[in-house]
Structure 1
Amino acid sequence: MGIILMLIVGGILGWLASIVMRTDAQQGIFLNVVVGVVGALLAGFILTPILGGAPITSGAFDIRSLLVSFLGAVVLLAIVNLVRRGAVR
């Protein structure tokens, strides 16, 4: 059940990150889920020990872990845009 919940939350966070970065029209639901989950993983391993709290991958769905995961998805999407287009937007 945890993996399904993480995919749903990752998809929502990836979708919100794509709206913030204005790339929602160019990517589908699959890329939203991938960006959300990978961004959550990276932010969970890098930012969560610095800021404190538990990563979203451990099943902690509090405000701090969701914001860190969202920030990770936005940063990951900015890096993807930089590689694909040469500009962050």
Structure 2
Amino acid sequence: MQGVGIIGWIVIGIAAGFVAEKVMKRDHGLLTNLLVGVVGALLGGFIANNLLHLNFAGWIGSFIVATIGAILLLFLLGLMKKRG
């Protein structure tokens, strides 16, 4: 998440985690939404930059990438939970 700062990471992380939680029909708390959103942002950023060669900057681009990454993270965690 380029150009948004640490407060931006937190705000975008919470928002992305919240949206991913609703899309995946899960029920988490604020801290979990933050963690899912920030980890999702890292995952989404890695995929966007390294695999798709896309560069998203600013609040909106960061939010989109973080939300997609958070949804993917929750999906993968759901798959692992079913196996275990």
TM bracket (short chain):
0.7 to 0.9
* Structure 2: stretches of 5+ with no match in the other structure: none
Question: What is the match of residue 61 of structure 1?
Answer: 58
CA–CA distance in structure 1, aligned partners of residues 55 and 71 of structure 2: 20
The alpha-carbon deviation at position 19 of structure 1 amounts to 0.1
1:71 alignment partner AA:
I
RMSD: 2.0
Aligned-pair identity (%)? 38
1:15 aligns with 2:18: yes
- Report the TM-score, using the length of structure 1 for normalisation: 0.75
Question: What is the match of residue 3 of structure 1?
Answer: 6
- How many residues matched? 79
- Report the TM-score, using the length of structure 2 for normalisation: 0.79
Question: What is the match of residue 47 of structure 1?
Answer: 48
CA–CA distance in structure 1, aligned partners of residues 54 and 5 of structure 2: 22
Stretches (4+) displaced over 6 A:
none
2:54 alignment partner AA:
G
* Structure 1: stretches of 5+ with no match in the other structure: 55-59
Question: What is the match of residue 57 of structure 1?
Answer: none
The alpha-carbon deviation at position 51 of structure 1 amounts to 4.4
